[in-house]
Homo-oligomer: A and B are copies of this chain.
Amino acid sequence: MTSNSAPSPFARLSLNSATTKKLTLAEVVDGCVRAGIPAIAPWRDRVEEAGLDKAAKLIKDAGLRVSSLCRGGFLTAADAEGQAAALADNRAAVLEAAALDTRELFLVVGGLAPGEKDVVAARQRVADRLADLVPFASENGIRLVLEPLHPMYAADRAVISTLGQALDLAAPFDAQAAGVAVDTFHVWWDPELKAQIERAGRERRIASYQVCDFNMPIAADPLLSRGFMGDGVIDFATISTWVRDAGYAGDIEVEIFNQEIWDADGDVVMETVKARYAELVLPYA
């Protein structure tokens, strides 16, 4: 059987709901359907607003895939109470991911504890909490996705700063239980990036490829310095080629935190995402 229509160039494109932060989940889903974007990566707050069961049905009825759920994590509490709360929250996130019919749960692992300066100890606590969580996640068919964040967030958001470090932390676990994310914004600067993407491919741990640009100068709120592909300094051709050559053929998520984009019309944002993806990412991915 052959189809009369060519496959969509956007078959692997997924919109992360943070890119259209002001839209409800229903609005994001409708927008993706209108735009021909076949997958979404919802954040948990949008899912919670809609209600988990309704959110799952909404997405499924619209014919969209869920490429990942964003996010669990914040595993670095130093006290027993904080650790128990983090584990409970992450177990809930695992169940939400399963209900949404995705395999991939992103973890932003957390920074230093309040007042703490011992980043080595904080990293060890991440390793310990992963060991606590992986069995539960695996039983529920969910892979925990370790996301290295740009080192400017090491103190307050993630003590995992490089892809190599994420792979080291994932190493004790089965590749189907613990993966890594390659987010261009966070890793483009890393002199080890090519080698570590190759390693991630060999170890079959690439769970997600996320694309957005690194805008310069850095925004006054450094969380919001992400931009549409093409607006910043990142070489998407090179990194996309490395990810492709490492064997990754899964969804490609666009996740942009940017006040100007948040303030823009959602449909316009999605069309820009598609255009930049088609021009700068797809030919190499």
Contacts and interface: CB of A to CB of B under 8 A. Distances in A.
B233 A190 contact: no
Contacts of A216: 155-156
A283 interface: no
A191 B165 contact: yes
Given A151-B150, A218-B222, A119 B156 contact: no
B235 A117 contact: yes
B233 A189 contact: no
Is chain A's interface secondary structure helix, strand, loop, or mixed overall?
Answer: loop
Contacts of A165: 191
A67 interface: no
Interface string A113-156: 00001111001000000000000000000000000001110111
A207 interface: no
B123 A154 contact: no
A248 interface: no
Nearest to A165: B191
A188 interface: yes
Nearest to A150: B151
Interface string A143-181: 000000011101110001110110010000000000000
Given A123-B191, A161-B191, A191-B162, A117 B234 contact: yes
B189 A151 contact: yes
Contacts of A191: 123, 160-162, 164-165, 168
A272 interface: no
Given A119-B233, A152-B218, 16 more contacts: A117-B233, A117-B235, A118-B238, A119-B235, A120-B194, A120-B238, A150-B152, A151-B151, A151-B189, A151-B190, A152-B152, A155-B189, A161-B191, A162-B191, A220-B220, A222-B222
12 contacts: A118-B235, A120-B235, A120-B238, A151-B151, A151-B152, A151-B190, A154-B188, A154-B189, A155-B214, A155-B216, A156-B216, A161-B190
